[in-house]
Amino acid sequence: MIKTPVLAASAALAVAMATVPATAEIRVTFQESAPKDIFQIVNTSGCGMGPVSVEIDLSASSAGLIFDPTASGAGVSVYQPFELVSGDVDGVAEVSDGDTRLSLDLPGLAPGGRVVFTIDIDDTLIDGPMGQTMVAGSEIAGARVNATVPGGQTISGTFGVDAAAAVPLQACIS
């Protein structure tokens, strides 16, 4: 049987794709929204994932971002505490004003599952593009998302100027 080059290439691609396991992935997005800033953690893959601890680490952000959950401390003006909007969370570590890290323990996420929470973040740059109380997407660039799965393996992703970070977690198990 004679195969055309296009059919042969298509067949080779199909075989290659069949041998690459699909991976579970979470995508974390940030949205500036006065007075509460919004974070979303979404399972963007087609498979479910088990328990995972997710840490948002602002310490390497381009604008020196900090969490501002209380009226006193390093935050500027308006503050907002952590508030779970949707999704399931097994635990949230306490966040103090001026902290750069926030950690959540998730029981797992179904395909397309999401956890949404609000909290205030401020930048520490006096001359930031939107002032200190509002955060542009580019100001979170460089911040990291660290996801720790059972067994202790930690996988990281970095926020880009689009205010999103992707973290590939594990191979899908059918």
d(C-alpha 76, C-alpha 122), whole Å:
7
First CA to last CA distance, the chain: 35
Burial class from Cβ neighbours inside 10 Å (0-12, 13-18, 19+) for residue 127 reads exposed
Q: pTM for this structure?
A: 0.80
Compute the C-alpha angle 52/55/58, nearest 5°.
160
Tens digit of pLDDT at every position of the chain (174 positions)? 455 555 555 554 444 444 455 678 999 999 988 778 999 999 999 888 889 999 999 999 988 898 988 766 555 567 789 999 999 999 999 999 889 999 999 999 999 999 999 998 887 775 544 444 556 567 889 999 999 988 888 999 999 999 999 999 876 654
